Amino acid sequence: MNKEALKNSINKYCKVKYGKSLGEAKDYEIFNALSLALLEEVVDDWSETKALYNQGKKAYYLSAEYLMGRALGNNLISMGVYDEVKEVLNELNIDLNAIEEIEEDAGLGNGGLGRLAACFMDSGATTNIPLQGYGIRYSNGLFNQKMVDGAQMEEVDTWLKYGDPWSIRKDDEAVIVEFSDYSVKAVPYDMPIIAYGSKNVNTLRLWQSESLESFDFDLFNKQEYTEALKCKNDAENISRVLYPNDSKEAGKLLRLRQQYFMVSASLKDIIRTHKAKFGSDFSSFGKEHAVQLNDTHPVLAIPELIRILVDEENVKFKDALSIAKTVFAYTNHTILAEALEKWDVKLIEKLFPRILEIIRHIDFVFVQELEDKGYDKEAINEFKIINYNQVRMANLAIYVGFAVNGVAALHTDILKDTELHNWYELYPEKFQNKTNGITPRRWMRLCNQELSAYITELLGTESWVNNLSELKQLEKYIDDEAVLNKLMAIKKTKKEQLAAYIKEVEGVELDPNSLFDIQIKRLHEYKRQLLNAFYILDLYNRLKANPSMDIPNVTFIFGAKAFPGYVRAKAIVKFIGEIAKKVNNDPVIGGKMKVIFVENYRVSYGEKLFPAADISKQISTAGKEASGTGNMKFMMNGALTFGTYDGANVEIVQEAKEENNFIFGLRVEDIEQIGGKYNSKEYYEADLSLKTVVDALVDGTFCDGGTGEFQDLYNSLVNEGDTYFLLADFVAFKEAEDKVFAAYKDQKHWAQMSLMNIANSGIFSSDRTIMQYANEIWGITPKTVK
């Protein structure tokens, strides 16, 4: 990189965009100018990549969310110029870290599904796979979380307040999306996904919904100003907020509009590129395009493709359905019924009656096929796409899709053996497993530069960043005390950095010499943050009774967002907040333990939390977590997994061995054996320590502000059956934590356990996952820009 040219380019953009010299510019202005200067460096490679990919088959990833995080630092790493740019900025008296911190996390996703999509985009580029992402450019994301007196409050996410220098608006490629009541314009914004180690630059295309007219001039002229802007507001609402609250019909309709908006715009875009190459010949469509449906949110793409082919391209329905069966593949991310979307027929009919007609026709054809195979009416009812006045999106995806995959070995086995067993018997050839992965560029090379540099030093090469299996070579240092000491020193550094950040932004002092026990993930009952909270409260009670208890100092860190309409999840946040106030303000404890619920957990916060963790809490009810990817990020950064035998935890302990982690609690087979016989009250009444912490919800120990939310949590456990087996796993949880405390006393052995996790994390690279998708589902080979 030409350093003087970069300086000149940054100066130029400061002047052109803000009318300021570099010396006058604010941090966010420098961020934008630097980003535009760097974008200038890759646009030619980006154009070459697009031209190269258009020569053959392409895959398209359709996802409702992409939890991208910040762009600047990751792109600097991918371009291989992080240190050079840091030097340039130092010469200009600019702190790169301060510029990185000013960037807002892109408000385009929320949980693991969205972060997985982001990792896949990174790996698609780095493995040179012709893969393009499609999604929605949410103007306000999910929400920003504020912790007020220990409770969650939601504020608008203004991620675009400083602009979006890493996206290019393509007005000339906008398309029209039609609903029954109005039409909108879908405007594409293209985000470059820069490969690490090659010149390839892939594309994430995000659609922004806009009105066909800026306002109704006649109404405005009549001074009916609010009505004059109604069409504009209705259109912009579609891409305003990720996962709008859908507790009422208006919210459900908005979510449904979002889904159709995304898939209709994306398919029109794909068909446009196809026609530019092949004209109106769609016979080869499935050979040229593979569409991966990331969960059920984009499944409306199936009837929409058929609608476009039949209504706009004069393809017969039978042929259009046959084409669709060669194009779509479906990733199932959960066995939870709430996440396998079912849409009321009346809602679909209200927004797009033609789509409902097509779904009915697909269902009719499917039922005929089942009858021909000898299925009786009762069995067919389980398969039907439309039943009980609901459209079952997973059924539609599995019937039409040519491949169906789970996201961890255990999850896929559960799908085949129980949850989707009837489908597996019908279409065994469709089912595959694709264990999730994470990108080592962001989750190690960027966020843990100290550990990355040391691994490169030990291995003598940086090729491990693109071939993570090379980390296996680190096992040869398992008895090297100098290496083990260095690993622990790096961990201490990352804990100090996190503690400094939390002190700055949260005002809470943490002891970096304490054991950092971290649970960060979406807030949901099955993820059992409440079980962790009960343990912490019990430990506090024991410490109060015996302040000289022989345990290391320990810091418990939570991070999670609860959906605004998810009352129980928000009650759990409040309960943890109440525990934190009690523990942290008690002088008797004397710093022996600390509890913090970090505010507004997001990717950029995660980049500080994952490298600092000693313990990775992955405690979902066995069989409920499809995979998890946070567990992989912790593992790669040397944390030990404290978890149930669930999701990718199973594969983590297979790789790094159970003796190097802490597995506890009921397993899937145990829960199956218990069946409907589980009596949570027996556990509640049999263990005084458990009863004490559960009673703390209702005995006046803590206050929920008179909302009754804590009583509801109590009832869910004691009177409503404890769906997620918190009480059954409490004793095993305590025993496992005792093992953690005992193990932490032997720092050399702890370092060995940590090293074994790092060394065996290679299989969890999303590069491996995306290559499996390319080879085993999409039928696509890499294409490299020369």
Condensed to tens digits (0 to 9), the pLDDT of residues 305-329 reads 999 999 999 999 999 999 999 999 9
Contacts of 699 (CB under 8 A, 6+ apart): none
Read off the tokens for 186.
Answer: 């879908």
pLDDT at 169: 98
Mean pLDDT, residues 534-559: 97
CA distance 306 to 426: 23
pLDDT at 92: 96
The residues that bridge with 291 in the sheet, in sequence order, are 60, 328
179, 257 contact by CB (below 8 A): yes
CA distance 732 to 723: 18
Q: Does the pLDDT of residue 669 top 80, yes or no?
A: yes
Out of 297, 521, 592, 768, the active site residue is 521
DSSP conformational letter for 246: -
pLDDT in tens, 41-59: 999 999 999 999 999 999 9
Q: What are phi and psi of 213, to 5 degrees?
A: -125, 140
- Kindly state the percentage of the chain with pLDDT values over 70: 100
Read off the tokens for 734.
Answer: 């305590």
Dihedral Cα 718, 647, 330, 257, nearest 10 deg: 40
Strands of the 390-392 sheet, one edge to the other? 342-344, 390-392, 386-387
CA distance 120 to 263: 19
Out of 608, 633, 734, 768, the active site residue is 633
Query: Domains in the chain, start-ordered, CATH in brackets?
Result: 1-53+77-104 (no CATH), 54-69+105-138+170-436+771-778 (3.40.50.2000), 446-764 (3.40.50.2000)
Read off the tokens for 492.
Answer: 């201490």
pLDDT at 646: 97
Residue 235 Cα distances to 256, 261, 437, 582, 636, angstroms? 14, 10, 36, 47, 43
| Residue 582: its H or E element | helix 567-584
Out of 58, 333, 442, 524, the active site residue is 333
Region class of 69: left (phi > 0), else alpha (psi between -120 and 50), else beta: left
Mean pLDDT of the chain: 97
Q: Does the pLDDT of residue 225 top 90, yes or no?
A: no
Out of 185, 494, 522, 734, the active site residue is 522
Q: Nearest Cα to 406, choosing from 712, 51, 648?
A: 648
627, 433 contact by CB (below 8 A): no
- Kindly state the percentage of the chain with pLDDT values over 90: 95
Confidence of residue 334 (pLDDT cuts 50, 70, 90): confident
pTM score, two decimals? 0.97
> DSSP letters along 425-452, please?
HH-GGGEEE----B-HIIIIIITTHHHH
Active-site residue, 522 included: yes
pLDDT at 80: 96
Active-site residue, 748 included: no
Q: Does the pLDDT of residue 141 top 90, yes or no?
A: no
Exposed / middle / buried, residue 772 (Cβ in 10 Å: 0-12, 13-18, 19+): middle
> DSSP letters along 329-391, please?
EEE-----GGGS-EEEHHHHHHH-HHHHHHHHHHHHHHHHHHHHTT--HHHHHHH-SEETTEE
CA count, 13 A, side-chain hemisphere, 215: 13
Q: Does the pLDDT of residue 339 top 80, yes or no?
A: no
Q: Does the pLDDT of residue 421 top 80, yes or no?
A: yes
CA distance 189 to 174: 10
pLDDT at 107: 85
Active-site residue, 333 included: yes
Q: Nearest Cα to 557, choosing from 506, 603, 604, 632?
A: 506
Mean pLDDT, residues 511-523: 97
Burial 668-688 (b: 16+ CB within 10 A, else e): beebeeeeeebebeebbeebe
DSSP conformational letter for 591: T
Mean pLDDT, residues 209-224: 91
CA distance 711 to 717: 10
pLDDT at 335: 83
> DSSP letters along 46-95, please?
HHHHHHHHTTS-EEEEE-S----B-SHHHHHHHHT-HHHHHHHHHHTT--
Q: Does the pLDDT of residue 610 top 80, yes or no?
A: yes
pLDDT at 691: 98
pLDDT at 682: 96
pLDDT in tens, 483-496: 999 999 999 999 99
pLDDT at 337: 74
Confidence of residue 287 (pLDDT cuts 50, 70, 90): very high
CA distance 786 to 198: 9
Q: What are phi and psi of 343, to 5 degrees?
A: -105, 130
Out of 629, 641, 644, 769, the active site residue is 629
pLDDT at 681: 97
pLDDT in tens, 226-265: 888 999 999 999 999 999 989 899 999 999 999 999 999 9
Confidence of residue 591 (pLDDT cuts 50, 70, 90): confident
Contacts of 417 (CB under 8 A, 6+ apart): 424
235, 184 contact by CB (below 8 A): yes
Region class of 62: left (phi > 0), else alpha (psi between -120 and 50), else beta: beta
Residue 110 Cα distances to 104, 118, 648, angstroms? 14, 11, 20
